[in-house]
Amino acid sequence: MSGGSATIERKSTSDGRFGYCEGGDPSSPAIVFIHGIGGRGEVFGPQLEAFAPAWRVMSWDVPGYGSSEPLSEATLPTLAVALGDFLDAVDAKDAVLVGQSLGGMIVQEALAAGLVAPKAIVLTGTSPAFGRPDGDFQKTFIEGRLAPLDAGRTMAELADGMMRGLTGPNPDPAGFAIGRDALAATTEDSFRQMVYALVDFDQRANLPNISVPTLLIAGTEDTSAPSKVMSRMADKIPGSTFVEMQGAGHLANLDQPDAFTEAMRGFLAGLDGAARA
């Protein structure tokens, strides 16, 4: 994976537990990207290539995805511990953390538990709670994602249609292909495991306690984490910045990669001691 002078390499931690993509200067400030359900490190490819010239950039394979080992029990608390372990392994405890969807929930959980101490965070296509497992939205969400698998269809068969539901009406073709390929490569077990991991998540009470610089990016076409939900999140996080991307869906970084990158670039430029974004 390369873009201009940026070269992104796929790596594993020394203990073999975690896979990730990495690029940039190892001595520069770090950005760590955390994907959502059906992702892998490569789904932040456009951003890795954009920021690698000035930052040390890494995109983590969440356990069970890419080349990261699965957890015996995947819950938001165990995923948060895994994130802390990964940051320790790559010596990036003070990185800027960028969490997308489930990845954003992992970041929130890890912050609340004191497992991470990031320089700043970016939350995109995510929410502060899943809600009641027996609620209408929650039941529809779970059934909508698992029913096709229950009917015998494969992730490879479902990937294109799933990606269309995660993007706006005019997605970037290259970004769409990156997301589709990641979904197609996802194992059914990992997909199911992470869908159920959402059920008990609720960090609404901790939002006012988030004290690091925070950027929230929402897409107007996102039906999984609606823009209005993320706007309310921003209202509860002291000093946070909210950006709404017109026409973007749930996977805004792939749907409109340039606009997403520019939103991040402006935020990063305002951080003390930031790299030249």
The string of pLDDT tens digits covering residues 84-109 is 999 999 999 999 999 999 999 999 99
- Domain membership flag for residue 39: yes
184 within 8 A of 159, measured Cβ to Cβ: yes
Q: pLDDT of 137-152, one tens digit each?
A: 777 888 888 999 999 9
- Domain membership flag for residue 45: yes
- Domain membership flag for residue 154: yes
At which residue do the structure tokens 């320790």 appear?
A: 88
213 φ, ψ (degrees, to nearest 5): -55, 135
Model pLDDT, residue 2: 45
- Domain membership flag for residue 276: no
Span of 24-28, 31-35, 82-86, 271-275 with lowest mean pLDDT: 271-275
Tokens standing for 74? Answer: 């995947």
- Domain membership flag for residue 184: yes
Q: pLDDT of 56-66, one tens digit each?
A: 999 999 999 99
Domain residue limits at 61: 2-269
Q: Is the pLDDT at 275 greater than 60, yes or no?
A: no
Q: Is the pLDDT at 3 greater than 70, yes or no?
A: no
Q: pLDDT of 166-220, one tens digit each?
A: 999 999 999 999 999 999 999 999 999 999 999 889 999 999 999 999 999 999 9
Q: Compute the distance between CA of residue 157 and CA of residue 148 in angstroms, rounded to an integer.
A: 10
Model pLDDT, residue 276: 52
- Domain membership flag for residue 56: yes
242 φ, ψ (degrees, to nearest 5): -115, 130
Label residue 27 exposed, middle or buried (CB < 10 Å: 0-12, 13-18, 19+): exposed
- pLDDT confidence tier of residue 4, bands split at 50, 70 and 90: very low
- pLDDT confidence tier of residue 6, bands split at 50, 70 and 90: confident
* 148: helix, strand or coil: helix
Q: pLDDT of 45-54, one tens digit each?
A: 999 999 998 9
Tokens standing for 29? Answer: 């400030």
- pLDDT confidence tier of residue 233, bands split at 50, 70 and 90: very high
Segment (H or E) for 258: helix 257-269
Q: Is the pLDDT at 133 greater than 70, yes or no?
A: no
Q: Compute the distance between CA of residue 247 and CA of residue 261 in angstroms, rounded to an integer.
A: 16
Q: Compute the distance between CA of residue 174 and CA of residue 238 in angstroms, rounded to an integer.
A: 36
- Domain membership flag for residue 274: no
CATH number of the domain enclosing 29: 3.40.50.1820
Q: Are strands 2-3 and 6-7 parallel, antiparallel or unpaired?
A: antiparallel
Q: Is the pLDDT at 78 greater than 70, yes or no?
A: yes
Please state, rounded to an integer, the average pLDDT across all residues of the chain.
94
pTM above 0.85, yes or no: yes
What radius of gyration do the chain's Cα atoms show?
Answer: 17
- Domain membership flag for residue 275: no
79 within 8 A of 63, measured Cβ to Cβ: yes
Looking at the 3D structure of the chain, how many domains does it have? 1
Model pLDDT, residue 272: 72
What would the mean pLDDT of 242-267 be, rounded to a whole number?
98
